């Protein structure tokens, strides 16, 4: 999983590459039949509604209590994360987007649809270049929540572009999209940094 494989003889299926480096040094765990059965049950579950940021809790519980205290590692609930992320990052961008929407509407009403489309496209390009830095990112909870909100806003922008007649083909040609590469973090614990990267990619995909 660390590098990806075209085909696994053991699994009899292709194995995708998992980002984050969590599988760089794989170690087989001695599991009982009951534990393996639990894993099989979990693998068959629908995980689409599970918040990827829950990995933060798993990381916190995996740390030795002394190490946890030393690092100040503490999982921050989503509601607390949004108290910081919304007013500092999301709401200013949404205010800017509201102005762009109003401007594009006026341009379209004045028969200048091309300029209206360009105004919306310019905001989308800006959204795809925003960089967010968490100077103590832990397992990436703040970055994940930020990415999710930026993707929601991007969805609204793309919908507005389509409403103005900017086709799906045009969107594909333009290429850019909000992605995990825009989320930057600093972290002293290498394991936490790898989990943060994995959380971001799981959330993005």
pLDDT tens figures, 96-142 = 999 999 999 999 999 999 999 999 999 999 999 999 999 988 888 89
Q: pTM for this one?
A: 0.76
CA gap 100, 86 in Å, rounded = 19
**Angle between helical axes of 190-204 and 55-62 (0-180°, round to 10):** 160
**Domain-located, residue 61:** no
Domain that holds residue 30: 1-45
CA distance 129 to 145: 17
Angle ∠(92,141,204) on CA atoms, nearest 5 = 80
pLDDT at 177 over 70: yes
Residue 59 lies in a domain: no
Q: Residue 59: what pLDDT?
A: 65
Pair (135, 187) in one structural domain: yes
Do 104 and 158 belong together in one domain? yes
| 3-class DSSP state of 137 | coil
- In a shared domain, residues 200 and 106: yes
pLDDT on residue 198: 82
- Same domain for 174 and 102: yes
Q: What total of structural domains would you count in the chain? A: 2
Residue 157: inside a domain: yes
Per-residue pLDDT at 201: 86
> 């696994």: which residue's tokens?
8
Note whether 88 and 167 are same-domain residues. Answer: yes
Query: Same domain for 33 and 99?
Result: no
Of 51 and 22, the one with more pLDDT: 51
Residue 172, pLDDT > 60, answer no
Residue percentage of the chain with pLDDT more than 90: 46
* Same-domain status, 28 and 99: no
What pLDDT, on the 0 to 100 scale, is given for residue 140? 86
Shared domain check, 91 and 4: no
Q: Is 130 exposed, middle or buried (0-12, 13-18, 19+ CB in 10 A)?
A: middle
pLDDT, position 68: 64
């Amino acid at each position: 999983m660390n590098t990806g494989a075209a085909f696994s003889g053991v699994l009899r299926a292709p194995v995708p590459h998992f980002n984050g480096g969590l599988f760089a040094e794989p170690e087989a765990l001695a599991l009982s039949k009951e534990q393996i059965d639990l894993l099989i049950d979990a693998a068959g579950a629908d995980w689409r509604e599970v918040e990827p940021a829950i990995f933060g809790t798993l990381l916190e519980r995996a740390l030795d209590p002394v190490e946890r205290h030393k690092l100040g590692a503490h999982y921050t609930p989503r509601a607390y994360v949004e108290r910081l992320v919304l007013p500092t990052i999301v709401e200013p961008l949404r205010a800017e987007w509201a102005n762009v929407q109003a401007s594009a509407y006026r341009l379209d009403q004045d028969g200048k649809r091309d300029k209206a489309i360009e105004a919306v496209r310019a905001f989308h390009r800006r959204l795809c270049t925003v960089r967010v830095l968490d100077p103590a990112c832990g397992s990436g909870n703040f970055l994940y929540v930020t990415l999710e909100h930026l993707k929601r806003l991007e969805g609204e922008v793309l919908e507005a572009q389509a409403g103005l007649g900017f086709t799906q083909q045009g969107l594909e040609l333009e290429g850019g999209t909000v992605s995990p590469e825009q989320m930057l973090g600093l972290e002293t614990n290498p394991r936490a940094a790898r989990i943060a990267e994995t959380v971001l990619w799981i959330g993005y995909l």
